[in-house]
Structure 1
């Protein structure tokens, strides 16, 4: 069992990490601004589902493979970069009508949720981060380390849900004010496409 003070310190740290600008919260922000807070929340749920995968990888030691293998790390990051470039291409070619808030022409709930999962799972740095971060708050004297890792991962997911959910609501409110303007929609779409392309470049050129 993890002591309350250790859990509280871990949760506070996770909140601060969630607030720091990064690919995931920028991804939530752009989707929320384009398609409303519901889209951002769905992407956030997808990202949190991806964190389940990373938590299990760390709990069972598989993340160590990605930390040690250049090939595994490179293949996964390039897959993530390719997916982000695909999203950038979609954003650049989409007409203003297809990004109206609440429009049926945009991606559905499952597609948005899936985007969050793919975005998170294909970033090998998350697994490596978890591999370095979670053990600092675990202690073999408290019981099985795998169980502690899963509990810490659940706390991290809760912090992510709260922070990114707040980002989604705020960005969605701002996007709603601009949603009635076709020109603003086109600008938002171009900005989103640029952000996705830059995130792809960052991921493709990242090192361990």
Structure 2
């Protein structure tokens, strides 16, 4: 199977577009450092796997045609994003600005990141509507081709999110020790999650 440049460019555009995973990774890099941001990037990438498997197994078609399933997943996603917004505003919450120390928080960081994408109802639609366009109609191995394209998309996601997180971690020295800046960063993260939750709330399957 030949990977088209159109697929790579389109995937990159989709990944670099601001979203809940990107916001979470950036916030983690700023608040906890490079190691934590890399864990967040891995977690966000792992959160894609269930959606990828659903699409490959064909179950995403059921999701696509079921308004009830879409609505349930959508409201779970909205609730989780609002929860992340609330955590962002807490002084000792998910984005508590501290010296880099991920030994005791790696699982929590990973869990938050996985759930962010797990409750994203747009991902199965993306895999069902987007990826098949790049699978040749006459291919003898459509499942393998779909899996390969999905893995490439996940790799792009991981690399881009790692870049976001590490760059954010490099900026930590400019915000640590500045209470006013930290306060507005927390508010910005919270506003970002709220904005994404509202966009998801009023979204549809089409």
Cα distance change, pair 194–154 in 1 and its aligned pair in 2 (3 A)? same
Per the alignment, residue 66 of structure 2 pairs with 69
The answer to whether the 8 A contact 1:101-1:176 is kept is no
Alpha-carbon distance in structure 2 between the residues aligned to 1:38 and 1:84 = 23
The answer to whether the 8 A contact 1:41-1:165 is kept is yes
Per the alignment, residue 33 of structure 2 pairs with 36
The answer to whether the 8 A contact 2:55-2:128 is kept is yes
Q: Do structure 1's residue 144 and structure 2's residue 161 form an aligned pair?
A: no
TM-score, with structure 1 as normaliser: 0.88
Alpha-carbon distance in structure 2 between the residues aligned to 1:50 and 1:95 = 25
Deviations 1:125-173 (A, max 9, x none): 1110111111011124332222211111100011111111111111221
Structure 2: state its 5+ residue gaps: none
State the Cα RMSD in Å: 2.3
Alpha-carbon distance in structure 2 between the residues aligned to 1:202 and 1:27 = 17
Matches within 5 A, 1:179-190: 179-190=176-187
Q: Do structure 1's residue 195 and structure 2's residue 187 form an aligned pair?
A: no
Once the two structures are overlaid, the 10-residue window that deviates more, 196-205 or 112-121, is 196-205
Superposition deviation, residue 107 in structure 1: 7.6
Alpha-carbon distance in structure 1 between the residues aligned to 2:161 and 2:79 = 24
Would you say how many aligned residue pairs link Structure 1 and Structure 2? 204
The answer to whether the 8 A contact 2:176-2:182 is kept is yes
Q: Do structure 1's residue 112 and structure 2's residue 106 form an aligned pair?
A: no
Per the alignment, residue 153 of structure 2 pairs with 156
SS at match of 2:200: helix
TM-score, with structure 2 as normaliser: 0.89
Per the alignment, residue 3 of structure 1 pairs with 2
Alpha-carbon distance in structure 1 between the residues aligned to 2:138 and 2:153 = 22
Structure 1 residue runs of 4 or more that deviate by more than 6 Å after TM superposition: none
Alpha-carbon distance in structure 2 between the residues aligned to 1:107 and 1:119 = 20
Alpha-carbon distance in structure 1 between the residues aligned to 2:30 and 2:178 = 13
Structure 1: state its 5+ residue gaps: none
The answer to whether the 8 A contact 2:36-2:102 is kept is no
Alpha-carbon distance in structure 1 between the residues aligned to 2:166 and 2:73 = 31
Q: Do structure 1's residue 131 and structure 2's residue 143 form an aligned pair?
A: no
Cα distance change, pair 186–103 in 1 and its aligned pair in 2 (3 A)? farther
Superposition deviation, residue 83 in structure 1: 1.1
Q: Do structure 1's residue 90 and structure 2's residue 84 form an aligned pair?
A: no
Once the two structures are overlaid, the 10-residue window that deviates more, 81-90 or 99-108, is 99-108
